[in-house]
Amino acid sequence: MGAQLRVYRRRIKSVQATKKITKAMELIASARIVKAQNRLHASMPYLTQLVDAVSAAASHASDVSKHPLTAKAETQVRAAVLVITADRGLAGAYSSNAIKEAEALTRNLTEKGMSVVPYVVGRKGVSFYRFRNRPMGGEYVGFTDQPTYSHAKEIGEDLLKAFMTPSPEGGVDEIHVVYTNFLNMASQETRVRRILPLEVVDEVIDSSEPGNANPFPLYEFEPGPEEVLDALLPRYVEQMVYLSLLTSAASEHAARRRAMKSATDNAEELIRSLTRAANAARQAEITQEISEIVGGADALSA
């Protein structure tokens, strides 16, 4: 019985050590969520102004449908899919959900007669494609929890280079990004967005209501809207990639915090169960010793 009690005590110490680790990781993830949210909110004003400038340049261009970054290929042969996963685990189903969404998108594009070239961010996604011996157009690891604009610029340049390359020479006709959108601390959802070719939509504003009539900014283009569009669209692609990386990073930290909190709660429950079992084993040991003493005393008295 003493050996069983020692086993329970060793298990309790082991679970307590694990609980300290998961609690520390939960606190670290909570702190990093706030930083990721601040970076995400700081990038939104620039993206908003960039979208307005692209829309204005497109509306003033002579024929925006013929621009290389907005024109849709007559025969779509190949598509690039940027999949954003995590470098590290212990984040629940964060990476697996992004991979599942990417696989669903791949099947959808394959049914349309297009081949898919994955561009993968994060070691989890890279390991998934390497294990299945599936070629990748690009691998980007080591920064998923704290992405910077230089990382987005590198990815955006690779995607633009593939998009500007003709399809017969190995280029792509479409670019999609699979990322995890951060809604709040408890909710994140995986989304798919097509970033190229850019779909230009003329937004109609209902001026019948006073609150809906917003003045559109006036732009002067020098040397011309076509040249400005050439300069803005690559920046737009890089910024969209950067925004996807930022919101995915916030989602990763939120998923890790939730997973570590669940692990900490499970460790506390396991410690309580092991403590009750250890107390029962100790009580049984004491009872057995008392019974042996009483039995020996009865034998001597007889």
- Answer yes or no: is 244 within a domain: yes
Indicate the average pLDDT of the chain.
Answer: 83
Distance CA 242, CA 40 (A): 9
Pair of tokens at residue 26: 């939960």
- Name, in order, each residue with C-beta under 8 angstroms of 122's C-beta and a sequence gap of 6 or more: 83, 84, 85, 86, 87, 95, 140, 141, 144
Pair of tokens at residue 150: 């230089």
- Name, in order, each residue with C-beta under 8 angstroms of 164's C-beta and a sequence gap of 6 or more: 68, 171
* Least trusted range by pLDDT, from 137-141, 146-150, 181-185, 213-217: 213-217
Q: Pick the closest to residue 180 from 168, 171, 172, 192 (CA basis).
A: 192
Mean pLDDT across 273-287: 85
* Least trusted range by pLDDT, from 2-16, 77-91, 261-275: 2-16
- Answer yes or no: is 114 within a domain: yes
Distance CA 287, CA 293 (A): 10
Please report the pLDDT score of residue 67 as a whole number.
61
Interior angle at CA 135, CA 131 and CA 140, nearest 5? 85
Residues in the chain: 302
- Answer yes or no: is 258 within a domain: no
Helix (H) or strand (E) run with residue 188 in it: strand 187-196
204-241 pLDDT, tens digit per residue, is 334 344 444 455 566 676 777 677 777 788 888 888 89
Distance CA 208, CA 199 (A): 27
Pair of tokens at residue 209: 């209501």
80-122 pLDDT, tens digit per residue, is 999 999 998 888 889 999 999 999 999 999 998 889 999 999 9
Share above pLDDT 90 across residues of the chain, in percent, rounded to a whole number = 40
pLDDT: which is higher, 144 or 226: 144
- Answer yes or no: is 118 within a domain: yes
Distance CA 189, CA 98 (A): 9
- Answer yes or no: is 68 within a domain: yes
Please report the pLDDT score of residue 63 as a whole number.
57
CATH code, domain with 191: 3.40.1380.10
Do the beta carbons of residue 36 and residue 250 sit within 8 Å? yes
Distance CA 238, CA 197 (A): 14
Mean pLDDT across 156-178: 88
**Beta carbons within 10 angstroms of residue 139's beta carbon:** 15
CA distances from 19 to 188, 235, 277 (A): 25, 45, 19
DSSP code for 130: H
The total number of structural domains in the chain stands at: 1
- Answer yes or no: is 73 within a domain: yes
- Answer yes or no: is 295 within a domain: no
pTM of the model: 0.80
- Answer yes or no: is 221 within a domain: yes
Pair of tokens at residue 90: 């212990």
Distance CA 47, CA 302 (A): 95
| Domain region containing 74 | 60-199+217-248
